[in-house]
């Protein structure tokens, strides 16, 4: 199996660029210093000015960091037979990339918030913020919450107890989740979610299109999502055609419960999944 290397996160690239700039500024600063010994404050100002000049020279100042398509943490065929290789290639490389491209166009020349921050006002903002911004966040989360069969572990004791207490059992939870994602319940395109709602209670909800429970004014139950299943046709049609229920049932085999359990702990503390490295 070919090795897949992850690209550095937006934050790490920014830190690296800043480090290079500041280092260069520190090396060059003495050339700009007067012969009289300046104060520490003056030296800091000169170094800062040098860094700003270098940043501008290299095109680093005042530019927004573009959102990116994250690489998968596994091979395209690693989720088979639940999700086939061709679907993963089209879904990740084409559909997800389109959302990334469109949200970057919408924010061209503007400061780009983290994806988490973008979600809150996405419905009110409408347009690309809602459709493409939601699409980028939802898909980033989707890839992270899956793993090859047998590698995703099981729900943590704490999450399993919460599921049992809310839904009766893991099997009953899965049945209710599948029902919420079925065509009769979520007509057309959308997502079905497990969220941590008010008071730390678990709830199952679904949203249309690329909406998610983090968005203010969302249809269904708002909350912090810890698990989401994409029920757009592009997520399953090549293999399952009209059989969406079969897709959701097979999808359980590739859920990364280790990641979901970690997100559950974060959600209890009021923290939404961070998926863009910021």
Residues 120-138 as b or e (16 or more Cβ within 10 Å = b): ebbbeeeebbbbbbbbbbb
Give percent helix, percent strand, percent coil of the chain, each to the nearest 5.
Answer: 55, 10, 40
The 10s digit of each residue's pLDDT in 84-118 is 999 999 999 999 999 999 999 999 999 889 999 99
- In this predicted structure, the answer to whether residue 16 has a pLDDT above a threshold of 90 is no
The 10s digit of each residue's pLDDT in 137-194 is 999 999 999 999 999 999 999 999 999 999 999 999 999 999 999 987 787 789 999 9
Q: Which helix (H) or strand (E) holds 191?
A: strand 190-196
pLDDT at 65: 62
- In this predicted structure, the answer to whether residue 15 has a pLDDT above a threshold of 90 is no
What φ, ψ does residue 135 adopt, rounded to 5°? -65, -40
The 10s digit of each residue's pLDDT in 47-74 is 334 433 433 344 433 344 689 999 999 9
The 10s digit of each residue's pLDDT in 217-239 is 999 999 999 999 999 888 999 99
Mean pLDDT, the chain, rounded, equals 82
The CA distance from 4 to 6, in Å, is 7
Which domains does the chain carry?
85-269 (3.55.40.20)
- Single out the residue of 271, 254, 198 nearest to residue 74, CA to CA: 254
Place of tokens 């921050």: 117
pLDDT at 188: 79
For range 240-250, the mean pLDDT: 95
Contact present, 191 and 231 (Cβ < 8 Å): yes
Place of tokens 């049609």: 237
């Amino acid at each position: 199996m070919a090795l897949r290397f992850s690209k550095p996160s937006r934050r790490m690239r920014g830190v690296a660029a800043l480090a290079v700039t500041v280092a260069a500024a520190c090396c060059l600063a003495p050339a700009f210093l007067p012969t009289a010994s300046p104060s520490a404050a003056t030296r800091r100002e000169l170094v800062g000015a040098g860094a700003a000049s270098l940043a501008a020279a290299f095109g680093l100042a005042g530019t927004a960091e573009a959102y990116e398509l994250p690489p998968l943490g596994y091979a395209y065929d690693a989720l088979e037979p639940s999700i086939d290789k061709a679907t993963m290639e089209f879904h990740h490389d084409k559909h997800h990339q389109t959302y990334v491209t469109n949200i970057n166009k919408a924010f061209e020349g503007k400061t780009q918030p983290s994806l988490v921050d973008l979600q809150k006002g996405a419905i009110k903002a409408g347009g690309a913020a809602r459709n493409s911004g939601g699409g980028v966040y939802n898909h980033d989360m989707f890839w992270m919450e899956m793993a090859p069969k047998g590698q995703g572990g099981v729900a943590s004791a704490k999450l399993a107890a919460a599921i049992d207490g809310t839904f009766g059992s893991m099997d009953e939870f899965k049945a209710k989740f599948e029902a919420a994602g079925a065509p009769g319940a979520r007509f057309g395109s959308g997502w079905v979610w497990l969220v941590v709602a008010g008071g730390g209670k678990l709830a199952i909800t679904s949203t249309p299109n690329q909406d998610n429970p983090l968005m203010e004014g969302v249809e269904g139950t708002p909350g912090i999502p810890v698990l989401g299943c994409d029920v757009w046709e592009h997520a399953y049609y090549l293999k399952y055609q009209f059989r969406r229920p079969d897709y959701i049932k097979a999808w359980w085999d590739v859920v990364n419960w280790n990641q979901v359990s970690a997100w559950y702990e974060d959600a209890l503390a009021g923290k939404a999944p961070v998926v863009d490295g910021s």
